[in-house]
Amino acid sequence: MTLEIGMLGYRFMGKAHANALARLPMFFPDAPDVERGVLIGRDEDALRDAADRLGFSSIATSWEEAIDEVDVFYNLGPNHVHAEPSIAALDAGTPVFCEKPLAPTLEEADVMAETAREADVPAGCAFNYRFVPAIRYAKRLLEAGELGEIRHVRGRYLQDWLVDPEAPWSWRNDEELAGSGALGDLGSHTVDLLRFLVGADDIAGEISRISGHLRTFVEERPVEGDGAGTDETRPVTVDDAYSAQLEFENGAMGTLEASRFATGHKNDHTIEIHGSKGSLRFSLERLNELEVLREDNRGYKTILVTDEDDPYVDHWWPPGHVIGWEHTFVHENYEFLTAVAENGEFEPNFEDGLAAQQVLEAIEESDDAGEWVSLD
Amino acid sequence: MTLEIGMLGYRFMGKAHANALARLPMFFPDAPDVERGVLIGRDEDALRDAADRLGFSSIATSWEEAIDEVDVFYNLGPNHVHAEPSIAALDAGTPVFCEKPLAPTLEEADVMAETAREADVPAGCAFNYRFVPAIRYAKRLLEAGELGEIRHVRGRYLQDWLVDPEAPWSWRNDEELAGSGALGDLGSHTVDLLRFLVGADDIAGEISRISGHLRTFVEERPVEGDGAGTDETRPVTVDDAYSAQLEFENGAMGTLEASRFATGHKNDHTIEIHGSKGSLRFSLERLNELEVLREDNRGYKTILVTDEDDPYVDHWWPPGHVIGWEHTFVHENYEFLTAVAENGEFEPNFEDGLAAQQVLEAIEESDDAGEWVSLD
Amino acid sequence: MTLEIGMLGYRFMGKAHANALARLPMFFPDAPDVERGVLIGRDEDALRDAADRLGFSSIATSWEEAIDEVDVFYNLGPNHVHAEPSIAALDAGTPVFCEKPLAPTLEEADVMAETAREADVPAGCAFNYRFVPAIRYAKRLLEAGELGEIRHVRGRYLQDWLVDPEAPWSWRNDEELAGSGALGDLGSHTVDLLRFLVGADDIAGEISRISGHLRTFVEERPVEGDGAGTDETRPVTVDDAYSAQLEFENGAMGTLEASRFATGHKNDHTIEIHGSKGSLRFSLERLNELEVLREDNRGYKTILVTDEDDPYVDHWWPPGHVIGWEHTFVHENYEFLTAVAENGEFEPNFEDGLAAQQVLEAIEESDDAGEWVSLD
Amino acid sequence: MTLEIGMLGYRFMGKAHANALARLPMFFPDAPDVERGVLIGRDEDALRDAADRLGFSSIATSWEEAIDEVDVFYNLGPNHVHAEPSIAALDAGTPVFCEKPLAPTLEEADVMAETAREADVPAGCAFNYRFVPAIRYAKRLLEAGELGEIRHVRGRYLQDWLVDPEAPWSWRNDEELAGSGALGDLGSHTVDLLRFLVGADDIAGEISRISGHLRTFVEERPVEGDGAGTDETRPVTVDDAYSAQLEFENGAMGTLEASRFATGHKNDHTIEIHGSKGSLRFSLERLNELEVLREDNRGYKTILVTDEDDPYVDHWWPPGHVIGWEHTFVHENYEFLTAVAENGEFEPNFEDGLAAQQVLEAIEESDDAGEWVSLD
């Protein structure tokens, strides 16, 4: 059996997932067979080019029809088109893999999760960083209790592509289209990773209350393109950066932060955890490494997570032959498609997407009210 | 003229300052001559031993008398004895050098600052990290505007000496004696450093509002010493860790954190700043280094701040011959005593001590109320 | 036009090149079209499996016939089968891409280079580390003279997979099959990288004389496999580690080293260069980074070589989205196949393979004689 | 009893040792009492200034008389005045502490060691890096066999103060006065550290043979000072840089290197060791740290060697409060003076100085001959 994929979106995420699909047969031979079937978008010319490049056999400008014809629906469009097509696909009994954040608003995320709950097929939310080998390795340590009682959790996602006030306006700067800014785009990743790593009841549990802080540093940005030469600008209606303080169910403290104004940082997503018996640190820009402190408390060990029995590594190369960012998509697609083929469970799913959304919403609410918000 | 020093306190800080005084003649020959005069404490035997070791010519068990006889009064006692002797000394026209935090409560800090304002002598607050060459180097960059408009400020001070629940109770765990826990002991350093680095009006300005979070992980601790064999415990009435979110006058965002439960971190005080034109990072455990990103935005440069024209370095050794933590005390004493001898200005002074205390107080207040507190 | 590839070898290098070929259309759309045609080996069953996995349309157990039928011949077999098939292919006018080191002996390498010189098609030697973006970036700096006059060059390649004396014997431990040990396997990479970076006349020039040191730490190793339970061992007839001192034509000094006994190092290939105006450092285990010191001589800058205009990066992902070891093969195949299609030049070619071999030979000769060997 | 010190030399090393003597009472109260007695030199004015600054009670322009009057003689002059005064002092029964390298030539070092052997007092050679806590910690690991059988040893000492061809000529550039250049000044430190760490018979043993390479990049340098405005230059008759390959008695391989032309490196002395069970790395510019790999072979642990039971640390500050370069002199003086007071053993002594000299000599000899030199 071959699974035919319909994919909405063909830019950054489209390329990342198409590449992942293309690499499965050589590296994950037990993955289900897939066919890159129909690529869905609005601009027919661009779509045709992309289909050609990304290896899709056909194109469609209407998702409504396409989702009936495919075995799996990938929703990789901008945030504001996550809800409707995903819900329609699930209602039609088609498994859905949706990019993060699940939706621009909590309301939409709620409906999506509700729909997924009632559908009898996998509904995945594509938080790809759960599939970094070093993160899986960290999770093993945490699940085995090797770090002891968790006291501090820290997550930070720093970029700098908006530090120039002349950087052009895009849909990512618009509340209607994106929901939020650094908070949703970057913060959703951080929240999901922390939930994945310490969210289990016997580790730190879920986030129980939160205090948030959002900020827009540059209030309007120039419009690029046709209007070249004009002075047209559009308002930035989302945050450029956010921070948050957390309390977890077990009493652990947390701090979160993300920014598009952190000069010099390109894609710097870091996680740090301190427990009563050990600590760990991870940085996405050195994603093959995990720093772990244990045992005699004499310093962090820099582990190159490329040994044969490290998560997913046996599919790739010998020790020390590092992998890249894109490999997380291969792992993620492998797990998701396997779940589809076997009608099994896949996580992160829409519940996880909703849970992250609830945290983001609480951060915004807290920022508005100037006070802590409870998440119970 | 030789300045005779009276010093209250002879443990950790006593040793650090006595050492600094002893080293001035060889390395800072233009510093005023000082005599380590009278060492003040309560336990006469311990005091005599310490005076012998630290090079003091006499001892006193009452600070009241001693402060009349000396030219400069060093108050290095526990926090709850900062106020009364310092105020008495200043009232008597004796310059005072007081350890941080200035006082356990804002009220006491207020009176101390008020007294200092009316006294005609230097009243220094011993925030020694202002005197790390790398920090001075950072301040030069910031003052010259080389980092551009400041957007993000981050300060973190991690230790782990209380992570073991059996670590014994001490005055540092008691609200009456210490005022607060990690917040006052560690947080006061961070707050002062950030004020020093970005607090000027044309950089980020003062902190304008704050949201704080305090936590005590272990509620009571065993009593050590005579009671050996008994099960006596005492309550921990201060925080084990705190975090905070900040807004500065210029709109920059900040996050603060300190803990005595950060397993594996011994004295890890880090500062990070992102501006529109550059970024910097500092870590106290590598205090000879400063990481600076500028110019072409292509990565942090690890600067070894030991060149001949780096701050204070020409007094010491050739490039690459690193200095230690204690050297910050030598620099600090040099500046303070020079101010005393010349009746000049010294910073950080009691105003700075008070300003830090106001921030700490706001953090506690915010934690109590569960909402942001304004600092105007 | 589609180039049909014949590939001898289907293990580690086979997988690396097959993957590279498979990824070209999506990421390097202007690369020539290729067909993974015939996979060549001896074990028919293994071969069939591999062809299936690696996407080849047919298999052959005799290279003699296969090389006549294909447009390009990839020789990825063990070192001792590099010469004959490569020579035959070139004689037949078929372009050849041969894994490194070019040959187990200088004599064979000589004949191969001679053959390539007379053939009118590209003959590439697959030193893939020339195609790391950070290495290309370094070369740009060196070619632009930004490091000034080169004084010191250092290359080191550390692995540890033989540190256990019970690690099984393989063809890599046999002089007949491999030519040499760490020297040929790892040292050839280092020598090639240094030639690539500083070998031009206006940089440091070629290596002019050399002093070498080889060592076999474990003299025999157990045979694995069918003989399980027996005590059979075979002699290790190659070096486990080597070091060398170099002099370059411009007078610069160099040191080289490689080992399979460097406990804890998996694939740690580092290059360091000091010039009169700057220095640089590279490590393969952090291959997205380059450390560069210039300008004010105040410390190394850690550059993440993932910006849009960094070498090859625009083909992949946005800044900060790191690539892995395997991507070097994609770049290498892209350049080689483009040269084939356009009948252009490709480097590193068999001349480069021969030049590296001459250096390796001189190291062995010097070790035998206990004296420096001139390379003029 | 108070030991009166006579000290020849009052510049860089004079300051370093005078400071160390001054700090002993406060931090090493069980050290013998010392008096900084007579400071010896040629320029009376400079000498008087220095004595004043460094705390010496008198001065002398002739060492011949001075050495009779003191209890201990410190020889901190340039290399060419090491032999005669040290020998005279030892002949007179006065303990001697001599800076490294022991002598400019092997012949002189031989006589010095012979004299020391017959004298009944300690004769120390001031290789201060043996007294870095992290180095002592490393030695503990090595002595306990925790790294297994030693396979590779690497030592490198990089500076850059001569990279500018206009940097002025000094005695350090003259063979008569200095013996050699980077080799003696820096290489002697490296050789001594390696002997200290792995030189014992049950570790790697002594160096058994060696291949050396010396190089002078800039052949003459301008004379500074009175001749300002003139074009006077003097020839550089020593090496600017050296490298060496080693074989140890146990078969381990080694590489050495030092340079005064390593742009950007100020005082970068690094040691790396690989054994069959573990590895370690040390860098002088981060001298509070030691990187150690053991046990599960999963990466280097960065140990901050500032815990209470780390070598010498209990004399100083709490964990994480780092020390500096100068502290190595305090430790060294403490051990040496204790040996003097108790007529005990002190290492490194003149035998160690001689042993290092033999290695340096072999490196020069090998460079001259272009072949390996045996050290048996």
Angstrom distance (rounded) from CA C60 to CA C51: 10
Residue of C89, C90, C15, C28 lying closest to C56 (CA atoms): C15
pLDDT tens, position by position, A33-91: 999 999 999 999 999 999 999 999 999 999 998 998 999 999 999 999 999 999 999 99
Can you give the pLDDT of all 376 residues of chain B as single tens digits? 899 999 999 999 999 999 999 999 999 999 999 999 999 999 999 999 999 999 999 999 999 989 989 999 999 999 999 999 999 999 999 999 999 999 989 999 999 999 999 999 999 999 999 999 999 999 999 999 999 999 999 999 999 999 999 999 999 999 998 889 999 999 999 999 999 999 999 999 999 999 999 999 999 999 986 555 678 999 999 999 999 999 999 999 999 999 999 999 999 999 999 999 999 999 999 999 999 999 788 999 999 999 999 999 999 999 999 999 999 999 999 999 999 999 999 999 999 999 999 999 999 999 999 999 999 7
B132-323+349-369: in CATH 3.30.360.10: yes
Determine the residue of chain D that is closest to A306 in CA distance.
Answer: D298
Is residue A363 very low, low, confident or very high in pLDDT (cuts 50, 70, 90)? very high
DSSP category for residue C349: B
pLDDT tens, position by position, D207-266: 999 999 999 999 999 998 655 567 899 999 999 999 999 999 999 999 999 999 999 999
Interface touch C324/A320, C-beta < 8 Å = no
Task: Calculate helix-pair angle for C133-143, C188-198, nearest 10 degrees.
Answer: 40
SS3 category, C300: coil
Q: Which of A253, A261, A279 sits opposite B263 (nearest CB)?
A: A279
Count Cβ neighbours within 10 Å for each residue of A346-366 and write b for 16 or more, e otherwise. Answer: bebbbebbbbbbbbbbbbbeb
Q: Which of C265, C279, C372 sits opposite D263 (nearest CB)?
A: C279
Q: Which of A266, A306, A324 sits opposite C266 (nearest CB)?
A: A306
Residue of B45, B21, B44 lying closest to B34 (CA atoms): B21
Residue ranges of chain A that CATH labels 3.30.360.10: 129-323+348-369
Strand partners, C6: C38, C73
Alpha helical stretches, state H, chain B: 12-27, 44-54, 63-69, 83-91, 106-118, 133-143, 175-178, 182, 188-198, 327-341, 350-369
pLDDT value of position A155? 98
Query: What is the CATH number assigned to the segment(s) D132-318+349-369?
Result: 3.30.360.10
pLDDT tens, position by position, A159-214: 999 999 999 999 999 999 888 999 999 999 999 999 999 999 999 999 999 999 99
Angstrom distance (rounded) from CA A307 to CA A321: 9
Report the phi/psi class of residue D279: left, alpha or beta, with left for phi > 0 and alpha for psi in -120 to 50: beta
Determine the residue of chain C that is closest to A265 in CA distance.
Answer: C320
Determine the residue of chain D that is closest to B11 in CA distance.
Answer: D317
The residues, ordered by sequence, that sit 6+ positions from A332 with a Cβ below 8 Å of its Cβ are A20, A124, A126, A128, A130, A131
pLDDT value of position C90? 97
pLDDT value of position C118? 96
Interface touch A301/D303, C-beta < 8 Å = no
B298 at the C interface (CB within 8 A)?
Answer: yes
Angstrom distance (rounded) from CA C65 to CA C76: 17
How close are the terminal C-alpha atoms of chain A, in Å?
44
Q: Which of C244, C261, C277 sits opposite D151 (nearest CB)?
A: C261
Antiparallel, parallel or unpaired: β C150-158 and C268-275: antiparallel
Do residues A82 and A112 touch, judged by C-beta distance below 8 A? yes
Q: Which amino acid is at B116?
A: A
What is the DSSP track for A197-246?
Answer: HH-STTTT-SEEEEEEEEE-S--EEEPPSTTTTS--EEE--S-SEEEEEE
Our CA dihedral for B37, B42, B44, B47, rounded to 10 degrees, sits at -50
Q: Which of C55, C265, C317 sits opposite A325 (nearest CB)?
A: C317
Residue of D278, D142, B263 lying closest to A295 (CA atoms): B263
Element containing residue D2 per DSSP (H, E): strand D2-8
Angstrom distance (rounded) from CA C113 to CA B313: 58
Do residues D16 and D56 touch, judged by C-beta distance below 8 A? no
Radius of gyration of the CA atoms of chain D, in A = 21
B304 at the D interface (CB within 8 A)?
Answer: yes
- Residue that wins the pLDDT comparison between A143 and D171: A143
Query: Biggest alpha carbon distance in chain A?
Result: 64
Interface touch A264/B243, C-beta < 8 Å = no
Residue ranges of chain B that CATH labels 3.30.360.10: 132-323+349-369
Is residue C132 very low, low, confident or very high in pLDDT (cuts 50, 70, 90)? very high
Determine the residue of chain A that is closest to D307 in CA distance.
Answer: A298
Interface touch B303/C301, C-beta < 8 Å = no
Mean pLDDT of all residues in chain C?
Answer: 96
DSSP category for residue A171: G
Q: What are the C-alpha distances in Å from A325 to residues A20, A332, C266, C317?
A: 11, 12, 20, 9
Residue B293: HSE in the Cβ half-sphere, 13 Å Cα cutoff: 24
- Which two three-digit tokens encode residue B210? 């704050």
pLDDT value of position B129? 98
Angstrom distance (rounded) from CA C337 to CA A158: 39
B144 at the C interface (CB within 8 A)?
Answer: no
Antiparallel, parallel or unpaired: β D96-98 and D72-75: parallel
- Which two three-digit tokens encode residue D1? 């009893």
User: Which class is domain D2-128?
Assistant: alpha beta
Antiparallel, parallel or unpaired: β B241-248 and B233-235: unpaired
Among B220-224, C346-350, D327-331, which is the least confidently predicted range? B220-224
Is residue D1 very low, low, confident or very high in pLDDT (cuts 50, 70, 90)? confident
A264 at the C interface (CB within 8 A)?
Answer: no
pLDDT tens, position by position, D174-199: 999 888 999 999 999 999 999 999 99
Angstrom distance (rounded) from CA C154 to CA C272: 5
B12 at the D interface (CB within 8 A)?
Answer: yes
Angstrom distance (rounded) from CA C194 to CA C298: 25
Strand partners, C3: C34
**Helix and strand tally (H, E) in chain A?**
11, 17
* ipTM of predicted complex: 0.96
pLDDT value of position B262? 97
Residue of C135, C136, C138, C154 lying closest to C292 (CA atoms): C138
Interface touch B241/A274, C-beta < 8 Å = no
Q: Which chains have at least 3 CB atom pairs separated by less than 8 Å from chain A?
A: B, C, D
Which of A146, A292, A293, A298 is best to mutate for the D interface (most D CBs within 10 A)? A298
Do residues B206 and B263 touch, judged by C-beta distance below 8 A? no
Alpha helical stretches, state H, chain C: 12-27, 44-54, 63-69, 83-91, 106-118, 133-143, 175-178, 182, 188-198, 327-341, 350-369
Residue of B171, B121, B42 lying closest to B350 (CA atoms): B121
Strand partners, C123: C96
Please say whether the dihedral angle defined by the alpha carbons of residues D259, D264, D270 and D275, taken in this order, is positive or negative.
negative
Element containing residue D114 per DSSP (H, E): helix D106-118
A42 at the C interface (CB within 8 A)?
Answer: no
Architecture of domain C130-323+350-369: 2-Layer Sandwich (3.30)
Do residues D170 and D162 touch, judged by C-beta distance below 8 A? no
Please say whether the dihedral angle defined by the alpha carbons of residues B84, B89, B93 and B95, taken in this order, is positive or negative.
negative
- Which two three-digit tokens encode residue D239? 């090496």
Give me the total of CB pairs closer than 8 Å, taking one residue from chain A and one from chain B: 126
Do residues C74 and C7 touch, judged by C-beta distance below 8 A? yes
Residue in this structure with the two tokens 């000396």, named with its chain if needed:
B70
A132 at the C interface (CB within 8 A)?
Answer: no
pLDDT tens, position by position, C168-215: 999 999 999 888 999 999 999 999 999 999 999 999 999 999 999 999
pLDDT value of position A231? 82
Cβ neighbourhood burial of D2 (10 Å; 0-12, 13-18, 19+): exposed
pLDDT tens, position by position, C262-302: 999 999 999 999 999 999 999 999 999 999 999 788 999 99
Give me the total of CB pairs closer than 8 Å, taking one residue from chain A and one from chain D: 22
Do residues A21 and A34 touch, judged by C-beta distance below 8 A? yes
pLDDT value of position A1? 81
Residue ranges of chain C that CATH labels 3.40.50.720: 2-128
Angstrom distance (rounded) from CA C299 to CA A276: 37
Fold of A129-323+348-369: Dihydrodipicolinate Reductase; domain 2 (3.30.360)
Residue in this structure with the two tokens 């001459």, named with its chain if needed:
C358
Q: From the CA of A299, how many Å to the nearest CA of chain B?
A: 6
Contacts of B298 in chain C (CB under 8 A): 301, 303-304, 307
Residue of D75, D64, D61 lying closest to D13 (CA atoms): D75
Residue A123 has φ and ψ, to the nearest 5°, of -130, 100
Contacts of D307 in chain B (CB under 8 A): 266
A286 at the B interface (CB within 8 A)?
Answer: no
B265 at the D interface (CB within 8 A)?
Answer: yes
Q: From the CA of A84, how many Å to the nearest CA of chain B?
A: 36
Is residue C153 very low, low, confident or very high in pLDDT (cuts 50, 70, 90)? very high
Contacts of B299 in chain C (CB under 8 A): 301-304
Q: Which chains have at least 3 CB atom pairs separated by less than 8 Å from chain C?
A: A, B, D
Is residue A226 very low, low, confident or very high in pLDDT (cuts 50, 70, 90)? low
Determine the residue of chain D that is closest to B25 in CA distance.
Answer: D53
Note which residues in 158-187 of chain A have CB less than 8 A from chain B: 158, 160, 163
Mean local confidence (pLDDT), D131-143: 98
Q: From the CA of D300, how many Å to the nearest CA of chain A?
A: 5
A29 at the D interface (CB within 8 A)?
Answer: no
Query: What is the side-by-side order of every strand in the sheet holding A33-40?
Result: A58-60, A33-40, A2-8, A72-75, A96-98, A123-125
Angstrom distance (rounded) from CA A109 to CA A87: 10
Do residues C222 and C156 touch, judged by C-beta distance below 8 A? no
Contacts of A29 in chain C (CB under 8 A): 53
